[in-house]
Amino acid sequence: MSIEIQPYRYEAIALSNESTVVAEFLPDALGVRETGYQSEAALESAFVEQLQRQAYEYLPISSEAELVANLRARLEQLNKIEFSDNEWQGFFATCIAGTNDGILEKTARLQEDHVQVLKRDDGSSKNIYLIDKANIHNNVLQVINQYETPTGEHGGKHATRFDVTVLVNGLPMVHIELKRRGVDIREAFNQINRYQRDSFWAGSGLFEYVQLFVISNGTLTKYYSNTVRDGHLKEQSGKRSKSKTSNSFSFTSWWADARNQPITELVGFTKTFFAKHSLLNVLTKYCVFDVDRKLLVMRPYQIVAAERILQRIATSTNHRQLGTVAAGGYIWHTTGSGKTLTSFKAAQLARGLPDIDKVLFVVDRKDLDYQTMREYERFEKGAANSNTSTSVLQKQLEDPNARIIITTIQKLSRFVAKNKKHPVYDAHVVVIFDECHRSQFGDMHSEITRVFKRYHLFGFTGTPIFAKNSGTGGNPLRRTTEQAFGDKLHTYTIVDAINDKNVLPFRIDYINTLKMQARIKDKQVSAIDTERALLAPERISQIVGYIREHFDQKTKRASTYRHDGKRVAGFNSLFACASIDAAKRYYAELAAQQQGLPDAERLKVGLIYSFAANEDDEDGLLGEEEFEAEGLDQSSRDFLDAAIKDYNALFATSFDTSADKFQNYYKDLSQRLKKRELDLVIVVNMFLTGFDATTLNTLWVDKNLKAHGLIQAYSRTNRILNSVKTYGNIVSFRNLEQETNDALALFGNKDAKGIVLLKPYAEYYAEYQARVGELLDKFPLGQAIVGEAAQKAFIKLFGSILRLKNILTAFDDFAGNEILSERQYQDYQSVYLNLYAEFRTTSEAEKESINDDVVFEIELIKQVEINVDYILLLVEQYLKKKGSGDDKEIRATIERAINASPSLRNKKDLIVQFVESVNTRAKVDAQWQSFMAAKKTEELERIITEENLNGEAAREFVEQAFRDGSIPTAGTAITKILPPVSRFSQGNGHAAKKQTVLGKLAVFFERYFGLV
């Protein structure tokens, strides 16, 4: 008889208060910055030394045999066991390095099945932990570098040396790829892609256990999971099945502190991300391997939110604050930032707390109930129990095994009304509200919080209700999000998300469709029936014509990409209408204008609306449409039935407006939107909140929006998908500029500073002109591109032109101004694709009608961007108001505008100095030019003096850069401005000096380009 001795394990007697994400990172604490040139080897050496100082064990190994031997020793150490050779060989072959195991199988093993069973020589079995998730400090962290992959029969195509790898209990789980400073970190990203394709599977495939990748050039550092990709492509190669990846750099993430300040320098990143408790927490708690077999690693703000919810649960329980707002709080994370994943992880971790009986995830709309259920199921099959009726909800509340329950607030309210007393009211429950800015503030919220005794109430929202926008209805003690839910636990605004590139910026076109004649402008416009005019057939017809004419342009139908296993062209869109009447008219007009067109030329159009018990609120909340059509008047219901028949004919379905079939129509419609099978869906309020489809890139708006509703509606368009989708398109047929500015000021960031909007056309086009000019000059068609350096330069240049053209094609101004002819573009693209393929395989009141008094026309008013002209306009206003008291507000507006613009933020000090120096309203433009020219000259002369540059050559170099639109880093021009370096000087002095000068000139160029 064998007696199994369980390994001694450290049992936690208290939760650590060490947060995974540092509260505030202070770069100055790192000491004096180095100024000398740093090679890639030196960067790697410093990184490894820093990990050693952080208690990582350095392991000087270079072969797979040594790697496997170390793995055996570390697993023996973790599990307090000694393998016999026979036991180890069997365990290694079946539980670690199975012949048919690839990235997916190994990731699943770590994430879902990290305790493997060892068959011992005596016939007994023993659990073997690959990683200890309960007590993270039982795990051993080691670091290796310059590990060489095996070659030969089971090896890679050629020997590969990996930069730095972190081993957890001997298994490679984090791989770091480094490039020297000044090199684009995308090169490190692309190199990892090559490793995944060519090397990680070599030998025993242990590097397929890597869960996280880190890429850095010392200055910039990012991380991402092993399945940051559009999907897995299984390819057979002989007897091996290897997972090939299609990675997207867009999904790499910055690490940050709890204030959302990115920690980009490798030294700071290492001190925080690679702190042992932080890294192990990320690996064991904050990765989610979803049912689509994708490994999602949470971003810093998501981790902070989840941990602060857990901390609030613990502290409020200890302080006996259950059942009060002090036991909960709210998370302000902008729409599109991944609130569902954050709430899921918070619910999952709360479910695991020994004192918690139930976690209720409460949504406010039935469509969200369906979508949220699908999202939760995506993360973990069976993790959540949704319910279709109050009786089912009751059974789940009474079932001790139903730990996470998704329900609507309406069903929960009905349960409370039917059950005056129930044991669940005394249970210790966590209640999480999704999008907590709606009916939670009404009587239902009051009833639920009245009957439950021991609860923690948490809310997630991208658009909180503050005192400023709370409206006047409802309970005055529960009008704001804070009043209803308690403290704000964490903030991550749309500005944070756009700066981090977690969501896309917006491009807004305001299209004027009502141009009043002079005699009408003199009338009392407030007494004019503008809504009636807005529904005039002439206007409806012209708007539909505009949409049809510009649809391919706005939705990028000329661009193709793979999505959901298919090759699709461009994106799709929503059309938000002011009323059911308007939606019907637009649908009918679209049908009329498309009548007689071949099927291939018709837009696939859907229509959905339902009865709205409440109109849009004065505070900007969208009216809540019910999930059934019974409340509609007969005419509207008949029209909707007819539209659904069109839909049935298009997709061979059988829906109608009866209760169940209408709900199924909604679900089918939403899925076809997500799969890009529909081109345009006309809505009133449905789909404008809580609906996510990455293929949506355009919102057509003929509806008054403001505050919550505006941000929510706009945010349907800005989900990241791929490199083709670079921003969310808003095309507004009403003048919503002021409402947009107000909403962005309210929800832009924690200091209400605004939002980043896309740059103006002229800026993109100037860059495009310069790049195309360089292309035609350096790479004339018909001449071979000789040498690898020239080929790489061409690929980089033409790639930048492709990216610019991708943006410019959505601008009306671009048509006819493409510079390159279609033939030239085709020829260059052929060369580009040929070279790219080669490099991929070889390297890296009473109203009157005004219908007769307006001219109906489509007029582009403007495209919104905070630029220098806008700033100067504000400066003029500031001077006019100076001394009146209103000038402070204008100064604040100037600051907000600067902070909201990616092109002006690094020029803030210059603009502020100008505002302080200008003292006359006359010729502000001239004063601006004079001021900036003087500052530009002053700063350049300082650089020339500090670096002892050739003054005349440096001035010419800089002027040429401003003409060309960039600082040239290659060629002889930079060499001419450098001071002579003695051939007897130690080290690579010339290269170091060149990098220093280029760095300073790049900063200088960035500050002044576009200002003078």
Range 118-122 average pLDDT? 91
Q: Look at residue 381 and tell me if it is in a domain.
A: yes
CB atoms within 10 A of CB 127: 12
831 with 910, same domain? no
Does 272 share its domain with 133?
yes
DSSP 8-state assignment for residue 764? H
The encoded tokens of residue 453 equal 């005794």
Domain edge (last residue) among 288, 318, 341: 288
Phi, psi for 261 (deg, rounded to 5): -90, 115
Question: 760-819 pLDDT, tens per residue?
Answer: 788 889 999 999 999 999 999 888 888 777 877 887 788 778 778 777 877 778 888 888
361 shares its domain with 240? no
- Specify the pairing of strand 221-225 against strand 240-247: unpaired
Domain presence at residue 648: no
Looking at the fold, whether 327 and 440 belong to one and the same domain comes out as yes
Closest by Cα among 218, 232, 312, 223 to 268: 218
What digits encode the pLDDT tens for the residues 897-947? 665 454 565 677 888 888 888 776 667 778 888 888 888 898 899 998 988
Predicted confidence at residue 622, as pLDDT, reads 65
- CA atoms of 905 and 902, how far apart (whole Å): 6
Q: What proportion of the chain, given as a percentage, has pLDDT over 90?
A: 30
In a domain, 706, yes or no: no
- At residue 755 the predicted structure's pLDDT band, cuts being 50, 70 and 90, is very low
Question: Using 50, 70 and 90 to split pLDDT, how confident is the model at 228?
Answer: very low
Domain boundary among 264, 288, 312: 288
Tell whether 382 is covered by a domain.
yes
Q: What is the pLDDT of residue 960?
A: 80
The answer to whether residue 719 sits within a structural domain is no
CB 560 within 8 A of CB 568: yes
Question: pLDDT per residue over 931-945, tens digit each?
Answer: 888 888 988 999 989
- For the cut 80, the answer to whether the pLDDT of residue 33 exceeds it is no
Per the domain annotation, does 265 fall within a domain?
A: yes
| Confidence bin at 5 (pLDDT 50/70/90) | very low
Look at the block and give the residue holding tokens 């949470």: 298
Beta bridge partners of 185: none
Residue 277 near residue 20, CB atoms below 8 Å: yes
Count CB-CB contacts under 10 A for residue 231: 14
**Do residues 164 and 311 both lie within one domain?**
no
- pLDDT value for 821: 80
* Count, residues in the chain: 1012
CB 904 within 8 A of CB 869: no
Q: What does the alpha-carbon distance between residue 990 and residue 972 come to, in Å, rounded to a whole number?
A: 13
User: Strand, helix or coil at 881?
Assistant: helix
Closest C-alpha to 47, from 141, 184, 136, 144: 144
* Residue 926, C-beta contacts closer than 8 angstroms, at least 6 positions apart: none
For residues 923 and 776, membership in a common domain is answered with no
Q: Domain residues for 823?
A: 761-842
**Residue 368 pLDDT greater than 60, yes or no:** no
771, 772, 798 from 781: Cα distances, Å: 15, 13, 13
161/282 same-domain check: yes
pTM above 0.75, yes or no: no
Do 304 and 283 reside in the same domain of the chain?
A: no
Residue 862 confidence (pLDDT) above 50: no
Inter-helix orientation angle 339-351/366-379, to 10°? 70
For helices 788-808 and 761-778, give the axis angle rounded to 10 degrees. Answer: 150
Q: How big, in percent rounded to 5, are the helix, strand and coil portions of the chain?
A: 45, 15, 40
Mean pLDDT score of the chain: 79
For the domain that residue 101 is a member of, what is the CATH number? 3.90.1570.50
User: DSSP letter at 853?
Assistant: G
Yes or no: say if 479 and 465 are a contact pair by the CB < 8 Å rule: yes
What residue has token string 């500073």?
Answer: 753
- Alpha-helix runs per DSSP H in 380-493: 390-398, 409-418, 443-451, 481-485
Residue of higher predicted confidence among 312 and 896:
312
pLDDT in tens, 615-637: 555 555 666 666 677 788 899 99
Contact between residue 176 and residue 165 where contact means Cβ atoms under 8 Å apart: yes
- First-to-final CA distance of the chain: 87
CATH number of the domain encompassing residue 347: 3.40.50.300
Domain boundary among 842, 860, 895: 842
Q: Please report which confidence band the pLDDT of residue 388 belongs to, taking 50, 70 and 90 as the band edges.
A: low
| 429 bridge partner residues | 358, 455
Both 380 and 474 in one domain: the answer is yes
Token pair recorded at residue 395: 């059974």
Per-residue pLDDT reduced to its tens digit, 517-571: 443 344 444 434 566 778 889 999 999 999 998 898 898 886 766 677 676 788 9
CA gap 353, 345 in Å, rounded: 13
What pLDDT score was predicted for residue 711?
85
**φ, ψ of residue 603 in degrees (nearest 5):** -75, 135
The answer to whether residues 998 and 873 belong to one domain is yes
User: Rounded distance, CA 359 to CA 351, Å?
Assistant: 6
CB-CB contact of 110 with 209 (8 Å): yes
What contacts 271, CB < 8 A, 6 or more positions away?
30, 50, 54
Angstrom distance (rounded) from CA 470 to CA 126: 60
Q: What is the pLDDT of residues 161-206, one digit of tens each?
A: 888 999 999 999 999 999 888 777 887 887 787 776 666 777 788 8
C-beta atoms surrounding 291 within 10 Å = 12
Question: In this structure, are 49 and 130 located in the same domain?
Answer: yes
Residue 815: closest CA among 1011, 580, 558: 558
Q: Quick check: 18 and 237 in contact, CB under 8 A? A: no
- CB 444, CB 409: distance < 8 Å: yes
For residue 818, give the CATH number of its domain: 1.20.58.2040
Q: How is residue 615 annotated by DSSP?
A: P
Return the HEC string of 224-241.
Answer: EECCCEEEEEEEEECCEE
Q: What is the rounded average pLDDT of the residues 139-168?
A: 78
Distance CA 706, CA 617 (A): 10
Residue among 901, 907, 1010, 1007 nearest 965 (CA) = 1010
Beta bridge partners of 288: 296
Cα Rg of the chain (Å, integer): 31
Q: What one-character-per-residue DSSP string does 333-367 give?
A: E-TTS-HHHHHHHHHHHHHTSTT--EEEEEESSHH
Give pLDDT tens digits for 464-515: 877 665 655 555 566 678 888 889 999 998 888 888 888 888 888 888 776 6
Q: How many domains does the chain have?
A: 4
Strand pairing partners for 701?
576, 732
Please check whether residues 86 and 228 belong to one and the same domain: yes
* Burial state string for 387-410 with b = 16 or more CB within 10 A and e = fewer than 16: beebeebbebbeeeebbbbbbbbb
Report the 10 Å Cβ neighbour count for 834.
Answer: 10
> 671 pLDDT exceeds 80?
yes
Average pLDDT over residues 316-345: 88
Structure confidence by residue, pLDDT tens digits, 721-752: 876 788 899 999 998 888 888 888 777 654 43
CA angle 493, 494, 497 (to 5 degrees): 90
Q: Who's near 729: CB < 8 A, 6+ residues apart?
A: 506, 507, 509, 554, 555, 573, 697, 698, 699, 717, 810
- For 130, phi then psi, to 5°, come to -80, -30
For residue 131, give both structure tokens.
Answer: 């990683």
Q: Is 908 inside any structural domain?
A: yes
Residue 213: what pLDDT?
93
Evaluate whether residue 686 is within a structural domain. no
DSSP notation for 489-545: EEEE-HHHHHHTTSS--EEEEEEE--EE-HHHHTS-GGGB-HHHHHT-HHHHHHHHH
799-811 confidence digits (pLDDT tens): 778 778 777 877 7
Of 10-19, 306-315, 609-618, 706-715, where does mean pLDDT reach its minimum? 10-19
User: 819 and 804 in contact (C-beta within 8 Å)?
Assistant: no
